[in-house]
Structure formats: structure tokens, C-alpha cells
Amino acid sequence: MAATEYREEQMTGRITGLGSYLPEKLLTNDDLSGIVETSDEWIMERTGIKTRHIADHMKEVPSYMGGIAAQRALEDAGVSASEIDLIVTACSTPDKMFPSMACYVQKAIGNDGCMCFDVSSACPGWLVAFNTAQCFMESGNIRKALVVGTECLSNYVDWTDRGTCILFGDGAGAAVIEADETMPANKFIMHATSNKAECLTCESRMQPDRWEEEGFLKNTYFQMDGRDVFRFAVTEVPKIIKELSAKYEFDLNDVDYFILHQANARIIETIAKRLGQDIEKFPMTVYDTGNISTASIPNLLDRMKKEGKLKKGQKIVMSSFGAGLTWAANYIEY
């Protein structure tokens, strides 16, 4: 098990492989209208979500789904598991507190010895994992990395709360990134503010001394002020994308795609309008996946690749937002 060779020259990673996993079981808006007082019309109008994939909770746990997405990304890249130097996984709903989800992904792909760890940053977690892997790569310490996002959000949904249960789904997405001397440096911005932390929270259930505390168990499911999160997203995402274009001196009109966190079609449409960009540049999967948190961006990229929409050299902005509050944006060359 040799340590990866250290290289003096700075190299940035290019995405060379993509993979995803979505559970077979679908939950439609009509199904939801049998659970809470809602309707297909209301959900479609306010969110653009029609269906979401729901995991078989005994089998399709985040470590399992992440492992399959990673295997598919390796196959797509034509890279063998033993070539991977680093696995970074983003997951807000892990099935084990430890070992990390990354260690389970390592086991699933059949690697032994590479660096493995998770990052925690809610929905922007996959971008945080991507940027972490890029920093390892640009320091000359790794050449090939797997960046994974995997979630079983349906375990944390309060199925009596119509304000949240309509939004979330389960799934995983992964990318292989490989050091490439022709790549420009990784360009990113990440922000957080804890001033509005309470508008999107989920308490850890494993605090038995608090189980009798009034309202505690309810708080171990997603608690969200939807309007606050909506306002935050449509204000801060356009701002961070403009900040990114100013920092790295590129023109938003030259961007081929804006790959945004798939939380709500209305949020994406508002952001497109505020950036003065054609909605055609904002591909979406939210219609049939719902919000799958850290898995949403790699899942969307994988689908675009399968549909033949991704071409080497395309200029892509990726941006995500979520609990913390945290938000991030990247400008990459595909």
C-alpha cells in the first residue's frame, strides 16, 4: 500500500467520470395528498416537483447508495479502484456515525489504503467535498479522487408536516476527478452565516436525556422556515455567482450551464431571472428527484452526461445553498 507520489507541480482536477443511484420506489404528489393535506397542483406550482425516489430503508442506506454511485463513476471514467488516492463524501443523513461514509464507499469499490473522510456542510456539502479534493490535488499530494454525495432524507422527514415532506427525496451521486496539467486552477467561493441557523435545523436523536424535553423529538426531524430559506436562496445565490465572476474575471454570458442545487424550480427560475440568464442554461432534475441535498449536483451532472449535454471544455457554474446557513459556488471547465 504505497503512499501517493508527491509532485511539485500544481495540478487541478478535471471531472472525468460521473455516476449516480436513485432508489426504484417513487412517491408522487398524488401519493402525498393521501398522507397530508396537499395537492399535485399546489406542489407543482410552488416547487416544480412531481415525484421523488424513496429508499428501501433496510437496504438503500446512504453508505450503500454512495458506494454504487462511486462504482458507476469509476466505470464511467475508466479508472480502477486502486488508482484512487482520496475519497471525500458529503452526507447529512449517514447510516453510521462512524466509520465515515467515505470508508464504506472505499469498501464498496474495493480500494484499500486511500485517504477517506466525510465533510458536513448540509446541501452544499458536495461542492465543499469537491473543493477539499481540489485543494489536496493542487498541493501535489493526490492525482485521482472520488467525490460523493449520498442521502436518505426520507428518514428525517416529518410525514405530518406538509411544508417539508413534499420536498425531499433519496439518492446518491459521485464524480471522479483526475489531475490534469491543462486545467486552470480551481475557482470557488464558500460562505456561511450562523445568524439565521434556526431556519433550517435537525437535532441528533441520540441524546436520550432529552427525549422527555418538550418538542425535542419533533426537532429530530427537519424543521424549516420555508419562506426564510427561499428568500436566502434567491438573494445569496445570484450574489455569490456575481462575486465569483468578478473574482475570477469571467463573463456570465460565456457560461454554458448553471448547475444549481435542485431544491425548488421556482428558486432556480428566480435566480436565472436575477442573473439575466436564459433559463435554458439551468438544467433541472428537481421535477423527478425532489431535493436530494448533497447528491443533487453530481446526480444532475451525471444525467446531463448520459443525455450527451456535457462536452469537454464547457464553462460551468455550480452553486448550492442550505443549512448553516451555508452557500458555495464554483466556476469550472468541464
- DSSP E strands: which ranges in the chain? 12-21, 26-28, 51-53, 86-90, 115-119, 144-152, 170-180, 187-192, 200-201, 223-224, 257-260, 315-322, 326-333
Looking at 116, 152, 261, 330, which residue is catalytic? 261
Is 291 among the catalytic positions? yes
Residue from the set 57, 96, 218, 227 that interacts with ligand UT7 by CB under 6 A: 227
Residue from the set 117, 230, 248, 250 that interacts with ligand UT7 by CB under 6 A: 230
Residue with cell string 427561499:
230
Residue 99 binds to ligand UT7 (criterion: CB under 6 A) = no
Q: Which of 331, 316, 329 is nearest to 233 (CA)?
A: 329
Q: Which of 205, 209, 197 is nearest to 323 (CA)?
A: 197
Burial class (CB in 10 A: 0-12, 13-18, 19+), 98: exposed
Residue 263 binds to ligand UT7 (criterion: CB under 6 A) = yes
Q: Which of 21-29, 128-136, 191-199, 225-233 is the region at the interface with ligand UT7 (rule: CB under 6 A)? A: 225-233
Residues sharing a CB contact under 8 Å with residue 295, sequence separation 6 or more, in sequence order? 20, 65, 69, 126, 149, 150, 151, 171, 172, 173
CA distance 300 to 283: 8
CB of 10 to ligand UT7, least distance (A): 33
Looking at the Cβ atoms of 116 and 166, the one nearer to ligand UT7 is 166
At 191, is the secondary structure helix, strand, or coil? strand
Residue 38 binds to ligand UT7 (criterion: CB under 6 A) = yes
Q: How many CB atoms lie within 10 A of CB 33?
A: 17
Looking at 114, 123, 152, 199, which residue is catalytic? 123
Vertex 235: Cα angle to 233 and 238 (nearest 5): 90
Looking at the Cβ atoms of 63 and 262, the one nearer to ligand UT7 is 262
Residue with cell string 465515515:
100
Looking at the Cβ atoms of 43 and 329, the one nearer to ligand UT7 is 43
Is 261 among the catalytic positions? yes
Residue 166 binds to ligand UT7 (criterion: CB under 6 A) = yes
Number of residues that bind ligand UT7 (CB under 6 A): 18
Q: Which of 170-178, 221-229, 244-252, 279-287 is the region at the interface with ligand UT7 (rule: CB under 6 A)? A: 221-229
Q: Which of 37-45, 72-80, 90-98, 105-113 is the region at the interface with ligand UT7 (rule: CB under 6 A)? A: 37-45
Cell digits for 23? 432508489
Looking at the Cβ atoms of 137 and 260, the one nearer to ligand UT7 is 260
Q: How many CB atoms lie within 10 A of CB 282?
A: 18
Provide DSSP, 264-292.
-HHHHHHHHHHHT--GGGS---HHHH-B-
CB of 265 to ligand UT7, least distance (A): 9
Q: Which of 162, 184, 314, 327 is nearest to 242 (CA)?
A: 327
Residue 47 binds to ligand UT7 (criterion: CB under 6 A) = yes
Looking at the Cβ atoms of 15 and 224, the one nearer to ligand UT7 is 224
Residue 163 binds to ligand UT7 (criterion: CB under 6 A) = yes
Looking at the Cβ atoms of 159 and 211, the one nearer to ligand UT7 is 159
Residue 100 binds to ligand UT7 (criterion: CB under 6 A) = no
Tell whether omega for the bond before 124 is within 30 degrees of 0, i.e. cis.
no
Looking at the Cβ atoms of 47 and 131, the one nearer to ligand UT7 is 47
Q: Which residues are catalytic?
A: 123, 261, 291
Contact footprint for ligand UT7 (CB under 6 A)? 38, 42-43, 46-47, 123, 162-163, 166, 224, 226-227, 229-230, 263-264, 291, 322
